[in-house]
Structure 1
Amino acid sequence: MGRISATTIQQVKEIDLVFLADILGDTLNRVGQTYFTYRNEGERTPSVAINPNKGIWKDFAGTASGNDSISYYHYRKNQSGTYPKGRDFLKTVEELCELCGITIEYEDGNSREFEATQYKPRDIVVTATEKAPSDRLHDVYSKVMKLLPLNTAHITHLKEVRKIPLQYARIRSYRSYTPDKKERYNMTKNIKRSVGSLEGVPGFAELKGKYGLYWTMVGKSGMLIPFRNIFNQIEGFQIMYDERPKLIKADGDLHIQMKDYDSFNIVQKSTGEILGESNRNELPIHTNLGSISVELGPKYGWFSSPINPEKGVLNGAEIGRPLLPYHTAVPIQALLNWTVHKGDIHEHMNVDEIWWGEGPLKGDISADFTSKLHLQVAGVAQWRLLLEPTKQLKPKRVVFAFDADAQDKEDSVGLNVLNAVKEAKQELQPLGIDVAIAMWPSSVAKGLDDLFHAGYKPKIIDIP
């Protein structure tokens, strides 16, 4: 036989440690997320701790420890804390494959199969973690940006649609998020080795795999757009999806209950009665009670990892737990100086006047036209997130520059803008911060960035 493939070795490394300990006959006592067992028979107190959720083990009566099944098996068989090498390593991998029913694949194309071992499920702690502090998020996300490229499709979109030069795009750290799960997993391993635990970092999640738990990045592929705070720390990413999700929508007196991605129950809203089953292939459906059809979902989403045991996501953090991030957009030269020389943003530009708006890309583009600092949220309903950073920046004036259609509409979106102006004035004017609104007709442009690209400027109206 030839050399054992890297894929097989990785599968062996990811064997659940509690599953392996159980197969080896270790006595296990669980306390919280940790399982305790004994180094030697006859011990009165446990001396070995296993944390399967983190994939680590430690002999706290000695110096041995490890972070995979190979190290644990070698420790158990040889009472050695060293990692096996050479022939010992290959022998350990082969024995673990036979013990756990993993097919050995060799680089020359041959393979060896073993009788499958029945996996004994254990109680896994499902953890929804609050977001890590800003310093920690920035540290991890900085590593993400170093590993991810900006692909040709996204470069083309930025240049041709958004009118953002490639040099600017790189300085602003836009990145392409791959759909390749293997690439995501390998990058996560790289990042985890560099920064340690990924708990509390939205976008990273611990999943239940065939051979145990593992960490990776989750979510749909697309272009990552960083959200920076007023200290130039990246606190999250919005994703401009490569493909907008296709959502099933019902109207009239109909409601749907999804059974999986394709199939669903049709329910009458008024009675709660299940009228039947259907799937995506049968849509659209039109009845006297209403219609069911497929519609394109949102263009943007968050790099986030909410727990979902049904999909195998057992540990993750949501971008909005407890608060969604805001984005600080500054002119490109100010950002370059800020990134290189660090320090307070006041050292790199005048912030006597700052603008409020929605959408990080719009803010980045508009900042270059106005030479002002723009604070952006994902949507107008989140405007209150801008109050605290504004108070810290201490400007003399805040200019509201939300989308023109949000200003024109008389529904809840328009009311949100009116209420935001009213409430912000009450919060800011006592601090000596004036409030104004930038206005333009929606027939000319929807967003402020489009208005500038069209060669126009908004009319600034002070709010008394």
Structure 2
Amino acid sequence: MTLLKELPSLLKKSIADETVEEIRSLDLKEFAIAMGDEIRRVGKWYMTYRNGGERTPSVGINPSERIWMDFTRQGIGGKDVLSYYAYRMYDDISLKNRERFVESCVQICNIAGIPLKFKDGTSFEPDGERRVSHAPIVHRDEHEDAKGYDAWLDFYYRQMLELLNLGDKHREHLLQERGFTPKEIQIRGYRSVTDNYRSRYMLTKELINSLKEDPVGVPGFALMEKDRLRYWTLVARNGFLIPFRNLLNQICGFQLRVDDPRIIRLPKGYTANLNNGEVDIIDKQSEAVVWKGKRDNFPVTLERGTATLEPGAKYVWLSTSRDVERGVAQGARIGHPTPAPYHVAVPSAVLEKWEAGDLISNVFDVTEVWWGEGPLKGDIAADLTDKIHIQAAGVKNYRQLFEPTLQLNPKRIVIAFDSDAQEKVDDVGKTVLQCIEEAKKLFLPKGIELYFAAWHPVQKNGLCKGIDDLLRLQLRPHMHALGGEQYPYEYPYHEKNR
């Protein structure tokens, strides 16, 4: 656009409402690509790299929901290209400054290849073809992909655990690398799952026959429609499941620790199926399998580009959503309509006797509640401290810890998030500080003491990212009082009888 040369003289003008509406209707994914962002699909999200760069993409764009977010920073996200452009250019999501707003609109129109109009009648036409289309209008049923209530999930998930086993590889990991005892592993209900298509289908079929109920609303299960067939199946990859339990010991969800977290990235026009360690790459148009092999054979050269493997998340939710393109006619999302679950970790000896449906405060001392991130870390720490640990899936989900803690009304709270907050000051560190400030406002007026557990991530005996690492080395965190009555802190670590 020649208007970029005239930009300084245009900053005092006002953008026409129709141009602003046109900008707000642009497709987020196409706009990000037009800006030069590298995009790869992960489920319904299209992932790209956050500002400043990183090894694993953590900025997600969901075109069907018309939203984007930076998963590493609380509250950073938006619903249109204006907020996305502001994030990319100014590391902010607002354009409150008038001149910045006008300049951003001019630049967005230039990138998208759309006309620009001002309220005084001045207008500019794009130099070339339009590069970003309108976002599709998606009429969603509010009940689509909705998960069921907690008691229903617990009912289905417990029966699923009865039909699954823990593989030797995963058992060895829990014993040797995590320090669990065989009994603790058995009590906590970790189970292996596979990408073997037939195995997952047969498991689901047995569940339905046993419970006389389809897994409607159960995250992880999907109603498939393929080749005129319609059937339910579990959707999973090779790895082991970690249960998330609420205050009533109801299993409300699972995280899957993936054996191989690498993600397959395909050129446009292809899709992939995983089954029993094999990868089938399929041409969407002809529906023919154009390549078959294992992950170790990547990268793979195809007619329309190269298929590659890229780093992915080690821990993922067991969750499904409707995806017609992949044959998923019905699913259930772990975070819809209520947020993804928190996890209540208690000592294994307590868990063994804790009946589902019984409030934890009826069977265990909840005077002191610890906060952390990651269910597996919480399970380990609970056995090493003899305390209740309420865990968020990640530190950015810290607000999920507030409500269950208020229900328990403890005397004190110990905040023990991972030590990487000290290294990642600009993202994780800010989130932890934000959590502390909100917790002080909410809990101190109620007479609840707040402590922050801190430790150096590098110890002479090894690395200590999580509180579980520190406790396993028989080391203690530094306790910093954040408010409330200060008291001599009696450290709860105890030696396990092995």
Query: Given that residues 126 and 315 in structure 1 are in contact (C-alpha distance below 8 angstroms), is that contact kept between their aligned partners in structure 2?
Result: no
Query: Given that residues 451 and 480 in structure 2 are in contact (C-alpha distance below 8 angstroms), is that contact kept between their aligned partners in structure 1?
Result: yes
Q: Distance in 2 between matches of 1:321 and 1:432?
A: 34
1:390 and 2:409 are equivalent in the alignment:
no
1:244 and 2:244 are equivalent in the alignment:
no
Q: Distance in 2 between matches of 1:310 and 1:293?
A: 21
Larger radius of gyration: 1
Q: Distance in 1 between matches of 2:152 and 2:455?
A: 40
Query: Given that residues 247 and 297 in structure 1 are in contact (C-alpha distance below 8 angstroms), is that contact kept between their aligned partners in structure 2?
Result: no
Q: Distance in 2 between matches of 1:454 and 1:159?
A: 15
- How far apart are residue 163 of structure 1 and its match? 0.7
Judged with a 3 Å threshold, the aligned counterparts in structure 2 of structure 1 residues 423 and 396 are, in CA distance, closer, same or farther, namely: same
Partner of residue 51, structure 2 = none
Query: Given that residues 300 and 308 in structure 2 are in contact (C-alpha distance below 8 angstroms), is that contact kept between their aligned partners in structure 1?
Result: no
- How far apart are residue 257 of structure 1 and its match? 6.0
Amino acid at match of 1:222: G
Judged with a 3 Å threshold, the aligned counterparts in structure 2 of structure 1 residues 128 and 430 are, in CA distance, closer, same or farther, namely: same
Q: Please give the per-residue CA displacement for 1:429-459, whole angstroms capped at 9, x wherever unaligned.
A: 2222221110000112111111111220111
Q: SS where residue 392 of structure 1 aligns?
A: helix
Amino acid at match of 2:227: K
Partner of residue 99, structure 1 = none
Structure 1 gaps of 5+ residues are 1-124, 250-255, 265-278, 284-291
Partner of residue 413, structure 1 = 428
Query: Given that residues 127 and 315 in structure 1 are in contact (C-alpha distance below 8 angstroms), is that contact kept between their aligned partners in structure 2?
Result: no
Q: SS where residue 300 of structure 2 aligns?
A: helix
Find the partner of 2:387 among 368, 372, 380: 372
Judged with a 3 Å threshold, the aligned counterparts in structure 2 of structure 1 residues 396 and 204 are, in CA distance, closer, same or farther, namely: same
Find the partner of 1:198 among 215, 224, 238: 215
Judged with a 3 Å threshold, the aligned counterparts in structure 2 of structure 1 residues 170 and 360 are, in CA distance, closer, same or farther, namely: same
Query: Given that residues 222 and 242 in structure 1 are in contact (C-alpha distance below 8 angstroms), is that contact kept between their aligned partners in structure 2?
Result: yes
Find the partner of 1:339 among 322, 338, 355: 355
Q: Distance in 1 between matches of 2:450 and 2:264?
A: 40
- How far apart are residue 209 of structure 1 and its match? 2.5
Judged with a 3 Å threshold, the aligned counterparts in structure 2 of structure 1 residues 164 and 411 are, in CA distance, closer, same or farther, namely: same
Partner of residue 13, structure 1 = none
**Two-structure CA RMSD over aligned residues (Å):** 2.6
Identity of aligned residues (%): 41
Partner of residue 138, structure 1 = 154
1:228 and 2:248 are equivalent in the alignment:
no
1:463 and 2:482 are equivalent in the alignment:
yes
Q: SS where residue 339 of structure 1 aligns?
A: coil
Find the partner of 2:471 among 452, 455, 459: 452
Partner of residue 90, structure 1 = none
Judged with a 3 Å threshold, the aligned counterparts in structure 2 of structure 1 residues 207 and 213 are, in CA distance, closer, same or farther, namely: same
Divergent runs of 4+, >3 A: 256-264
- How far apart are residue 126 of structure 1 and its match? 12
- How far apart are residue 312 of structure 1 and its match? 0.3
Query: Given that residues 455 and 477 in structure 2 are in contact (C-alpha distance below 8 angstroms), is that contact kept between their aligned partners in structure 1?
Result: yes
- How far apart are residue 282 of structure 1 and its match? 5.6
Query: Given that residues 126 and 309 in structure 1 are in contact (C-alpha distance below 8 angstroms), is that contact kept between their aligned partners in structure 2?
Result: no
Find the partner of 2:185 among 169, 181, 187: 169
- How far apart are residue 306 of structure 1 and its match? 1.4
Judged with a 3 Å threshold, the aligned counterparts in structure 2 of structure 1 residues 421 and 127 are, in CA distance, closer, same or farther, namely: closer
Q: Distance in 1 between matches of 2:388 and 2:253?
A: 19
Find the partner of 1:357 among 372, 375, 380: 372
Q: Distance in 1 between matches of 2:434 and 2:158?
A: 36
Q: SS where residue 231 of structure 1 aligns?
A: coil
Judged with a 3 Å threshold, the aligned counterparts in structure 2 of structure 1 residues 258 and 400 are, in CA distance, closer, same or farther, namely: farther
- How far apart are residue 293 of structure 1 and its match? 7.2
Judged with a 3 Å threshold, the aligned counterparts in structure 2 of structure 1 residues 178 and 351 are, in CA distance, closer, same or farther, namely: same
Judged with a 3 Å threshold, the aligned counterparts in structure 2 of structure 1 residues 215 and 337 are, in CA distance, closer, same or farther, namely: same
Q: Distance in 1 between matches of 2:393 and 2:319?
A: 14
1:329 and 2:348 are equivalent in the alignment:
no
Q: Distance in 1 between matches of 2:168 and 2:160?
A: 19
Amino acid at match of 1:435: L
Q: Distance in 2 between matches of 1:134 and 1:209?
A: 30
Find the partner of 2:451 among 402, 424, 436: 436
Q: Distance in 1 between matches of 2:455 and 2:308?
A: 36
Partner of residue 288, structure 1 = none
1:182 and 2:205 are equivalent in the alignment:
no
Partner of residue 438, structure 2 = 423
1:7-46 map, 5 Å: none
Q: Distance in 2 between matches of 1:304 and 1:293?
A: 24
Q: Please give the per-residue CA displacement for 1:147-185, whole angstroms capped at 9, x wherever unaligned.
A: 000111111000011011121111000011122221221
Q: Distance in 1 between matches of 2:424 and 2:261?
A: 25
1:308-319 map, 5 Å: 308-319=323-334
Number of matched pairs: 312
| TM-score normalised by the chain length of structure 1 | 0.63
Q: Distance in 2 between matches of 1:401 and 1:163?
A: 20
Judged with a 3 Å threshold, the aligned counterparts in structure 2 of structure 1 residues 246 and 212 are, in CA distance, closer, same or farther, namely: closer
Amino acid at match of 1:297: G
Q: Distance in 2 between matches of 1:310 and 1:127?
A: 20
Judged with a 3 Å threshold, the aligned counterparts in structure 2 of structure 1 residues 151 and 293 are, in CA distance, closer, same or farther, namely: closer
